[in-house]
């Protein structure tokens, strides 16, 4: 296919949008209009434009031992099966230098991994597709299918591509000068913390740095991601940070997760980090670190909703709605305590929503709630929660003072095999995962038409 990048509209004979694949351009001869060879195409340059498709701004052409910049306006035709023709033989002989926001498709994308946002997994770009729209070339699609080594030698380069929309991916370019342009529209921050943690488990060191750089723009999300990471990985990533930076992350984590994380730090770093925590968080963390990790005290969280027994149900429900910084799992139950903090009653949130809003908590709550001491072992905790169908389980001391609450997700995490994070969860029945590498034909998603 031969298309002029500088024309205002595609040739009239083209029934479909003109497209060119990067694999068909790289290393192709670059010639002037008369066909005289000038060099070979080394790379294609695109400029990032936030949420819009990146636009092609020029080529990197190898001439002898030098790499020169050729603006796209000087390109007469992209011919995927022959030459790349220029309007003239006049070239800027200054060596090519990448500018702010520029991405080199061969160096930065081709063969590199990207984040498939819909599937929350890392995939590799085997090719990219350039589409012609309104007088300019756009980076429109990415092919993540592994090419057949032998078939590729005989296959028509214009067929066999199964591309997906560029906007479905988050590129891991590793170029610091383009980060600021990519950051405002970073799609990775749409993912759940557990999904980002899974990406980090599969990432290389360079990919880790780039993913964490994006996640770190949202401190709350960053803390949630560290809560989901395997202990060894979290410790290694935090160990590369200063004490103040570690404390800033831990201050936003749940106290039980922060306590576990500090316990996994090197011994010489624990006290300096603890000293930098906010006083309230430091007190909670120190309390939790005093318990066996496999006991009720080691499992419990210290954030819970406890109110006076004479509180109206309507106020209790409103208090749940206003507790935005608490773990949602801990808000499935509301407790009542006396003036000394002793546990009196327990009520599930669903029960409160289904009862008279004007009633008092003491009137609609269970007066003898199931509870355990901080030294109760994990097996007994799991048995009690199973026998009584509990989502939360209060932990009290010898005087009945409410110390914390164990949630069912904490018990599940403690009882699953150690390598549970490495297992790939079966997709839901309505999920439509792209074909596995090697299948470049059947079932590929339809290409979304780009708009400049």
| Domain boundaries 186-290, corresponding CATH code | 1.25.60.10
Q: What is the predicted pLDDT for the residue at 345? A: 95
Strands 333-337 and 306-307, sheet pairing: parallel
pLDDT digits (tens, 9 = 90+) for 441-452: 333 344 444 444
Superfamily of 306-415 according to CATH: CBS-domain (3.10.580.10)
pLDDT digits (tens, 9 = 90+) for 228-239: 898 889 999 999
pLDDT digits (tens, 9 = 90+) for 380-403: 999 999 999 999 999 999 999 999
Q: Where in the chain is the domain with CATH 1.25.60.10?
A: 186-290
Query: Is pLDDT larger for residue 82 or for residue 277?
Result: 277
Q: Where in the chain is the domain with CATH 2.30.30.240?
A: 2-171
Produce one character per residue of 165-203: b if its CB has 16 or more CB atoms within 10 Å, e if not: bbbbbbbbbebeebeebbeeebbbeebebebbbbbbeeb
Beta partners for 21? 129
Q: What is the predicted pLDDT for the residue at 101? A: 75
Beta partners for 31? 37, 85
For 77, the token pair is: 């035709």
d(CA 372, CA 405) in angstroms, rounded, equals 10
Fold of the domain spanning 2-171: SH3 type barrels. (2.30.30)
Q: Where in the chain is the domain with CATH 3.10.580.10?
A: 306-415
């Amino acid at each position: 296919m031969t298309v002029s990048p500088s024309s205002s509209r595609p040739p009239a004979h083209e029934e479909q949008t003109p497209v060119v694949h990067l694999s068909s351009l790289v290393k192709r001869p670059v010639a002037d209009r008369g066909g005289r060879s000038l060099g070979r195409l080394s790379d294609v340059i695109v400029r990032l434009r936030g949420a819009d498709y990146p636009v092609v701004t020029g080529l990197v052409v190898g001439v002898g031992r030098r790499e020169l910049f050729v603006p796209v306006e000087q390109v007469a035709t992209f011919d995927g099966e022959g030459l790349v023709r220029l309007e003239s033989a006049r070239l800027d002989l200054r060596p090519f230098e990448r500018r702010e926001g520029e991405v080199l498709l061969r160096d930065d994308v081709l063969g590199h991994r990207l984040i498939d946002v819909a599937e929350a997994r890392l995939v590799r770009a085997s090719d990219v597709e350039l589409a012609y729209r309104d007088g300019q070339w756009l980076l429109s699609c990415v092919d993540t299918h592994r090419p057949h080594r032998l078939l590729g030698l005989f296959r028509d380069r214009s067929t066999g591509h199964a591309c997906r929309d560029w906007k479905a991916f988050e590129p891991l370019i590793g170029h610091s000068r383009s980060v600021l342009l990519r950051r405002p529209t970073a799609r990775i921050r749409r993912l759940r913390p557990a999904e980002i943690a899974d990406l980090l488990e599969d990432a290389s060191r360079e990919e880790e740095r780039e993913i964490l750089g994006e996640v770190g723009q949202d401190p709350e999300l960053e803390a949630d991601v560290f809560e989901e990471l395997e202990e060894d990985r979290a410790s290694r990533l935090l160990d590369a940070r200063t004490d103040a930076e570690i404390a800033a992350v831990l201050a936003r984590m749940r106290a039980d997760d922060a306590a576990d994380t500090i316990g996994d730090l090197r011994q010489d770093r624990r006290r300096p980090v603890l000293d930098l925590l906010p006083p309230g968080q430091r007190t909670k963390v120190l309390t939790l670190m005093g318990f066996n990790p496999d006991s009720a005290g080691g499992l419990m969280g210290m954030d819970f909703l406890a109110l006076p027994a004479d509180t109206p149900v309507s106020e209790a429900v409103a208090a749940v709605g206003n507790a935005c910084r608490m773990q949602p799992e801990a808000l499935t139950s509301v407790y009542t305590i006396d003036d000394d903090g002793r546990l009196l009653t327990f009520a599930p949130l669903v029960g409160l929503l289904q009862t008279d809003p004007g009633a008092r908590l003491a009137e609609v709550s269970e007066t003898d709630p199931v509870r355990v001491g901080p030294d109760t072992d994990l097996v007994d905790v799991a048995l009690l929660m199973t026998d009584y169908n509990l989502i939360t389980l209060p932990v009290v001391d010898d005087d009945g003072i409410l110390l914390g609450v164990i949630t069912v997700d904490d018990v599940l995490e403690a009882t699953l095999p150690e390598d549970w994070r490495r297992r790939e969860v079966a997709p839901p029945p309505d999920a439509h995962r792209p074909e596995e590498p090697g299948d470049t034909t059947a079932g590929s998603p339809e290409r979304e038409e780009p708009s400049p």
